[in-house]
Structure 1
């Protein structure tokens, strides 16, 4: 059985409209797909080398089938082109670029042609439908959508969203939540990608932002922006922590999110398969925020390392298990919520560590200064941490120690300096033995101890040092088996700041000729301090000699220094 394309003009429009309505796409796209299908069938009949065009009138359904020929200077394809001379035999006004269209009679679709046309139309409609889905959802990332479970494939849940399908991959679902076919479900759109097989709408019920979006639906103050949610940390299906802050001092953010008798938070808990939620007041003070995040555990003391965003938290011995949580859950969620690495110690462990550090410093002072244990302990008790500090501190700070006098202080300081000189000689010999060139020592910021460390790590030339990055010197953090682990840097023990490490490398690059001095980062000028310095300077231009001497005496300067002050003020 064959189908004549001229049999029913309105039938084409009816088909186009029905398909467009069913697939929620533009009717024009369907008509264009039908035109392309007819063109393909016509070329099969009249020859694929011909430029055959089909056109359907969107109002009447009238189909026109034409064979086009273009006027060119030199013919390369006789089936689609003709010369200007031949064209002007047909139409004297013809010129280069003129297109002649010859009407072709209607064709009959045989079985093969009909099947081909159907495939073309189906493909075009499918492409249009995919594009429509992508355009509709690409700007909806971050929204919650409602859908119905269509099927479950290998742990991935396919969700019918009405006019599109989304997928909740196994990793994006809540563990132990068993979604059934035809079950209504809410999920969070976290990504929309245009792929070869069509647009992929990725949904999640485990995403931290899904919880924040649920609170925005349940808590009007969050939806209106009165209460903000800076961060969320989740162990999906088990426990979560959410930080909240109010922009209105009269509104308690925690109470507002909990709701009357817990109604608001319970609505979110129910949606998330019973996931327990700790609502934490946010603070711009890291220590306060971290202490809040470790609730319900009580914290006795914290020590912050802002450079590495690491905090040491000391808790009472009986609070340790509560602070860490089941399988480390509480401290892990608190770390995710705050963005800080958290080390938990008991008061007993912290005390033992302090005692160990005290004993190590005592032994260092005994060995380096050749003093007895009592004197070494007194120095450690006063807060001295290394020999260099003792060697160059103001003499009075040592002399005021109970039982010490100025002579004792001078002797201890002299021994400290002698020790450092011997140590420097040993380190320099070690540096030379390791093959570290002198030029490395000439880089500002590098001392002998550092040079030895460089040699032990095969950094022996200025070029070697110039080729490093900041993390090579200071260390870095990596995630291994789900745990955040610190990898030590070459100069780990020297506690370099990121700025100092970067500047050391940059100066090495200057020394190596990689960059110029002008490329070095310039220190920021504190305008307030500059203004104060200008105010503190005094003008000597209108002073007589007596006034100048009086001013100099008041400032503890001689006349030459006063003149220098004038120059600096200028």
Structure 2
């Protein structure tokens, strides 16, 4: 078939029809046609030629042109697509390197093989354009809820028709043992959209916490309007969930608004989630108070928060323990997810036994170290003293507030405490020296003899060794592996060295060794300060 004999408007009509069917830009289809015709022409005239095809968007006329570029004599490589300045003077006046010479060539005859090849090129281009359009559309909708129709089920995964494409609801993203049949209506959360070789892949979820949050946004106008905000969601899909909400309007109760008249709003969400029980909790910036709310319906007697370890210790009445933990630990697990804290729950009797043990250990410490009787040691513990450092170096007036302690007794207590501490420091330094600690580390400010002993036992014996340590190796920390937090013991953690203090000491050591330029650190600090001020 020759292009010249073909109905030229048929090209445009075909492009319009394909674009309308695939819902893509007609210009992309025309460009695919131009590329396919150019490829067919190259197979006729020679693959080394630079042949281009232009289809008039109004008349449909296809124009075939051969393009040659002007190059230097020594750079001439492709005689079919390039020509020298001397050669170009035959066709152009005053040619320059980089100019192009374009000449029209006769249209090609499209044989059966060429026509089939052109068809494949057009189909491929159309397919790519359709994939790009689909990816862009669903990428923008990621993080929202979509309604679809079940098409089929493959190995437990549900294939969902979402209008202009197919999406997949994996087996582990279904609630409980949900079963679907073809043509069932389904509502899901668009969790992820990925661009892959076989086309954009749309992954759905019904177990994601965000799915519940979006459902509440649909049911509660105050959330949609921003008057109420969902601060956190924790789910055990199909069984139970907790959602924390806060109101920015003092006249609106966030919990009541989410529950609705006679529970109508929350019930609509429960029905969609296959009967999942939902606890709606008021959010509080004070984490212990928020945790007390999150552990409802259990009552809490006492809360102790360790912010550095991101752990929280909760004491409940003995009869409330099973309620606080929940069936198979469900209640405390959801509360932990909601607060992002590890929760240790103990009963009042266990807490009392723990505190009694600590009291006895401190009493024995004071009895042995200060050579005082049990009553006096208990008196010190009751007054809040926990170690010898506090007794030895506290202001004298604090000891004088204890009943029965005069100035002479207070001075004697401090003298005994300091003697014990100095003896321990001397022994620790001797042990560190035996292990090979060098003067460079001994003279480093901020390290006590006991710290030097602990470092030496772990092989840190020089200032260079110390400077290569990471801050968490000294202060300790927590590592999350597969969703579980594990404790990393620090070499100086038992000496109450914080992460910030460890960072400061390590950086000071590196500066002392000349590894770091202090002026560069100051410049970085200044730039960070400027960025923070700019954001503010």
TM-score (normalizing by structure 2): 0.90
Partner of 1:51: 50
Whether the aligned pair in 1 keeps the contact of 2:63 and 2:104 (CA below 8 Å) is no
Flag structure 2 segments of 5+ consecutive residues without an equivalent.
526-536
Q: CA deviation at 1:291?
A: 0.8
1:310 aligns with 2:311: yes
- Trace 1:318-357 onto structure 2 (pairs within 5 A): 318-357=319-358
Residue by residue over 1:111-168, the C-alpha shift from the partner in whole angstroms, topping out at 9 and shown as x without a partner, is: x223222211111111111111222233333222222223333443333221233333
Q: 1:12 to 1:516 in 2, by over 3 A?
A: closer
Q: 1:98 to 1:393 in 2, by over 3 A?
A: closer
Partner of 2:66: 67
Partner of 1:393: 394
Partner of 1:103: 105
Q: 1:12 to 1:37 in 2, by over 3 A?
A: same
Whether the aligned pair in 1 keeps the contact of 2:65 and 2:102 (CA below 8 Å) is no
Whether the aligned pair in 2 keeps the contact of 1:5 and 1:107 (CA below 8 Å) is no
- Trace 1:387-536 onto structure 2 (pairs within 5 A): 387-480=388-481, 482-515=483-516
- Trace 1:158-307 onto structure 2 (pairs within 5 A): 158-307=159-308
Partner of 1:15: 14
Flag structure 1 segments of 5+ consecutive residues without an equivalent.
525-570
Question: Quick one: distance in 2 between partners of 1:31 and 1:19?
Answer: 10
Residue by residue over 1:162-219, the C-alpha shift from the partner in whole angstroms, topping out at 9 and shown as x without a partner, is: 1233333344333422333332222222333333333333332222222111111110
Residue by residue over 1:386-436, the C-alpha shift from the partner in whole angstroms, topping out at 9 and shown as x without a partner, is: 112111223343344344444433333222122112111111111112222
Residue by residue over 1:495-548, the C-alpha shift from the partner in whole angstroms, topping out at 9 and shown as x without a partner, is: 2233222222222223333235667789x9xxxxxxxxxxxxxxxxxxxxxxxx
Question: Quick one: distance in 2 between partners of 1:441 and 1:73?
Answer: 72
Whether the aligned pair in 1 keeps the contact of 2:3 and 2:107 (CA below 8 Å) is no
Stretch moving more, 458-467 or 77-86: 77-86
Stretch moving more, 217-226 or 179-188: 179-188
Residue by residue over 1:29-51, the C-alpha shift from the partner in whole angstroms, topping out at 9 and shown as x without a partner, is: 11111121122222222222222
Partner of 1:26: 25
Residue by residue over 1:458-499, the C-alpha shift from the partner in whole angstroms, topping out at 9 and shown as x without a partner, is: 211112222222211222222356432222211221222332
Q: CA deviation at 1:93?
A: 7.5
* Aligned residues: CA RMSD: 2.6
Q: 1:398 to 1:82 in 2, by over 3 A?
A: closer
Question: Quick one: distance in 1 between partners of 2:507 and 2:242?
Answer: 42
Residue by residue over 1:212-266, the C-alpha shift from the partner in whole angstroms, topping out at 9 and shown as x without a partner, is: 1111111000000110111111222222111101011010000000111111111
Larger radius of gyration: 1
Q: CA deviation at 1:61?
A: 2.0
Stretch moving more, 221-230 or 87-96: 87-96
Partner of 1:37: 36
Question: Quick one: distance in 2 between partners of 1:373 and 1:99?
Answer: 106
Question: Quick one: distance in 1 between partners of 2:337 and 2:50?
Answer: 63
Q: 1:451 to 1:93 in 2, by over 3 A?
A: closer
TM-score (normalizing by structure 1): 0.85
